[in-house]
C-alpha cells in the first residue's frame, strides 16, 4: 500500500502549511528543508511553467492526502462536466467525507479526519461509512456514532467545539449533538485554497 507523507518537511518544501497543525514547522522555518537552509531558496533557479503547474498539483494532493492515481480520477471527472473545470475539481475534493469531517471541526487536521472516518467513528445519514474518499451530497447529515462518544478523543472534540466552532458557509454544525449537515455545494470564496486549481488543469491538459 502506498504511503502518504505527513511530515512538515513537505509543508516547508511547498512553502505553505499543508498539514493543518497549529505549530506547523513552516511558520518557524519558512524555507525548504536541507543542509543549506535559507541559502537554498536563494540558489534555486526560476521555475518553468511546467514546474509551477507541478508544484500546484503536489500542493493539492498533499493538502487532501490523495495519491496520484486517485487525484487524476478527480480531474477526469471534473473535465467531463460542462463549466469551470478548476472549480469542479476543488468542489469534488471538498466534498470528500474526510474533508467534510475536518470542515465541521470533528478533527483538528485532515489526516486526523481520515483516521476518524477509517476507524468507524462516523455516520452518514445514520449509516456507518468508513471510506474517507466517500463523496457526500447536499442534504447529507454527518454525525459521530453514539457508541464512540465515550472515547477520549470524542470528549476532547466536544470540549473544543464548545469553545470554538467555525465552519464554512456550505455546512451547518450542531455541536451539542456532534452532527453536521451539508447544506450546499461550496462556491465562490469557499473554493479558495493554498493552491491554484487553474494551473492543475493546465498541467493535466498538456
Give the count of alpha carbons within 13 A of 133, CB side only.
Answer: 8
Of 95, 98, 134, residue with least CA distance to 113: 98
H/E run at residue 144:
strand 141-144
Share of the chain above pLDDT 90, in %: 52
Query: What's the CATH architecture for 8-89+194-204?
Result: Orthogonal Bundle (1.10)
Measure the CA–CA gap between 184 and 190, rounded to whole angstroms.
11
pTM of the model: 0.81
Measure the CA–CA gap between 175 and 187, rounded to whole angstroms.
24
Q: What is the mean pLDDT of the chain?
A: 84
- Per-residue pLDDT tens for 45-65? 677 899 899 999 999 998 999
Q: With b meaning 16 or more CB within 10 Å and e meaning fewer, what string describes 96-109? A: bbbbbbbbbbbbeb
Fold of 96-182: 3.10.290
- From first CA to last CA, the distance across the chain in angstroms is 29
How would residue 2 be classed by pLDDT, with cut points 50, 70 and 90?
Answer: very low
**Helix, coil or strand: residue 179:** strand
How do the domains of the chain map onto residue ranges? 8-89+194-204, 96-182
- Per-residue pLDDT tens for 161-181? 776 667 899 999 988 888 999
Topology match between the domains 8-89+194-204 and 96-182:
no
Amino acid at each position: 500500500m502506498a504511503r502518504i507523507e505527513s511530515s512538515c518537511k513537505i509543508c516547508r518544501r511547498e512553502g505553505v502549511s499543508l498539514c493543518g497543525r497549529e505549530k506547523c514547522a513552516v511558520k518557524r522555518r519558512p524555507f525548504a528543508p536541507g543542509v543549506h537552509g535559507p541559502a537554498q531558496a536563494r540558489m534555486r533557479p526560476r521555475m518553468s511553467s511546467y514546474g509551477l503547474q507541478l508544484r500546484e498539483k503536489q500542493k493539492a494532493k498533499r493538502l487532501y492526502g490523495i495519491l496520484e492515481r486517485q487525484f487524476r480520477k478527480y480531474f477526469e471527472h471534473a473535465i467531463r462536466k460542462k463549466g469551470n473545470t478548476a472549480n469542479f475539481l476543488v468542489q469534488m475534493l471538498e466534498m470528500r467525507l474526510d474533508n467534510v469531517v475536518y470542515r465541521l471541526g470533528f478533527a483538528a487536521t485532515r489526516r486526523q479526519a481520515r483516521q476518524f472516518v477509517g476507524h468507524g467513528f462516523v455516520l452518514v445519514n445514520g449509516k456507518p461509512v468508513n471510506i474517507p474518499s466517500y463523496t457526500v451530497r447536499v442534504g447529507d447529515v454527518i454525525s459521530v456514532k453514539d457508541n464512540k462518544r465515550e472515547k477520549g478523543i470524542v470528549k476532547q472534540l466536544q470540549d473544543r467545539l464548545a469553545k470554538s466552532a467555525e465552519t464554512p458557509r456550505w455546512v451547518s454544525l450542531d455541536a451539542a449533538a456532534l452532527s453536521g449537515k451539508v447544506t450546499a455545494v461550496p462556491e465562490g470564496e469557499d473554493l479558495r485554497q493554498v493552491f491554484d486549481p487553474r494551473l492543475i488543469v493546465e498541467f493535466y491538459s498538456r
